[in-house]
């Protein structure tokens, strides 16, 4: 009889335990459901924290928290991209509208033709041509950057003479140096330096950096290019002695929305696409790019490439 009573008692206890487990699990699942509902309706970004005795629900809540973290990161990135996209469109719209307004103004003056000499007509036409070319280049830069960022533009890396490209870059801007009274300084190793790179992309990188130095550093009257070998990399430095870049702006220089014109000259504005393109081209060749600047003394843009071992 006592054995029967014991069996019945044990059975009752087991049923009570099972019932409690079901109740607790239901409460736990209900709590999880409430959290997920709040998150899905963007009312909260809280996580699931439960003091549970049951490993199954602990594991579920842990995995759900991991998924929620990933979801939140994706959402944050999406919002950041949306803000960046809107800002970029605003900048580009400004940069298109400004030269277009100017172009239309000159065209209107030419159309009226009141008291305009042939010399003035030629001057206006030259201005229109220059502004139209600048506008065209800006639009081309925008599309080039879009292609680079979409990763639809593969770059084939081959043995490339970097010494030759550095010399070409200086020669390409020789007339600009003379016109602005700038002394170019070029420091190259005695032996030829070869890297794994794409010649056309490297030409664009060097042209962008020298052009940038010329545009903002011409007041310093000196612009330089140097090559240095560090371990299995080759570093290229393009520098000027112009006004410089404020320290707080240095981390933003290669951002596609950063307007370097603002930091170096508050009266100018631009989309800053040139340096963003440069960064993309360097990184597609397994390189790094950085900038340092001391106001009024020296600004250096440096990028690295993998050295080609013969």
**Helices 199-217 and 162-172, packing angle to 10 deg:** 40
pLDDT of 36 reads 55
Four-CA torsion 105, 110, 114, 116, nearest 10 degrees: 110
Which pLDDT does position 119 carry in this prediction? 86
Judging by DSSP bridges, how do beta strands 183-187 and 222-230 pair with one another?
Answer: parallel
> In Å, what is the CA distance from 217 to each residue of 172, 209, 240, 262, 303?
17, 11, 5, 14, 18
pLDDT at residue 12, as a whole number? 42
Contact of 259 with 270, CB cutoff 8 Å: yes
- For residue 49, what pLDDT is reported? 57
**Considering Cα of 181, then 259, then 168, then 294, what sign does the dihedral take?**
positive
The answer to whether 186 and 224 have CB atoms below 8 angstroms apart is yes
Query: Could you tell me the mean pLDDT of each successive run of 10 residues in the chain, 310 residues long?
Result: 46 42 48 56 56 58 71 77 70 71 82 81 85 79 74 82 95 92 93 94 93 91 95 96 91 72 40 81 95 94 92
pLDDT at 135: 80
Domains in the chain, start-ordered, CATH in brackets? 2-76 (no CATH), 87-149 (1.10.287.130), 158-306 (3.30.565.10)
Report the C-alpha gap between 5 and 54 in whole angstroms: 30
CB contact at 8 A, 96 and 138: yes
Q: What local confidence, expressed as pLDDT, does residue 278 receive? A: 92
* pLDDT value for 169: 93
């Amino acid at each position: 009889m006592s054995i029967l009573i014991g069996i019945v008692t044990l059975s009752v206890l087991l049923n009570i335990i099972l019932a409690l487990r079901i109740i607790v699990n239901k409460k736990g699942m209900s709590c999880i459901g409430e959290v997920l509902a709040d998150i899905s309706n963007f009312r909260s970004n809280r996580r699931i924290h439960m003091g549970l005795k049951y490993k199954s629900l602990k594991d579920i809540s842990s995995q759900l928290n991991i998924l929620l973290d990933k979801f939140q990161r994706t959402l944050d990135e999406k919002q950041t991209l949306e803000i960046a996209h809107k800002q970029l469109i605003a900048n580009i719209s400004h940069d298109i509208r400004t030269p277009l307004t100017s172009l239309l103004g000159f065209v209107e003056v030419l159309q009226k033709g009141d008291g305009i000499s042939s010399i003035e007509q030629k001057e206006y036409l030259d201005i229109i041509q220059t502004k139209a070319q600048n506008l065209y280049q800006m639009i081309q830069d925008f599309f080039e950057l879009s292609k680079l960022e979409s990763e639809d533009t593969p770059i084939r890396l081959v043995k490339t003479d970097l010494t030759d490209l550095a010399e070409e870059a200086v020669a390409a801007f020789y007339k600009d140096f003379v016109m602005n009274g700038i002394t170019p300084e070029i420091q190259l190793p005695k032996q030829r330096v070869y890297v794994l790179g794409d010649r056309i992309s490297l030409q664009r990188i060097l042209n962008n950096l020298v052009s940038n130095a010329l545009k903002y550093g011409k007041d310093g009257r000196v612009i330089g290019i140097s090559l240095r070998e560090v371990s299995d990399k080759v570093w290229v430095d393009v520098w000027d002695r112009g006004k410089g870049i404020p320290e707080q702006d240095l981390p933003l220089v290669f951002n596609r929305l950063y307007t370097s014109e603002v930091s170096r000259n508050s009266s100018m504005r631009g989309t800053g696409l040139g340096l963003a393109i440069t960064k993309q081209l360097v990184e597609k060749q397994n390189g790094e790019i950085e900038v340092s600047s001391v106001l009024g003394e020296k600004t250096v843009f440096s990028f690295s490439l993998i050295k080609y071992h013969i």
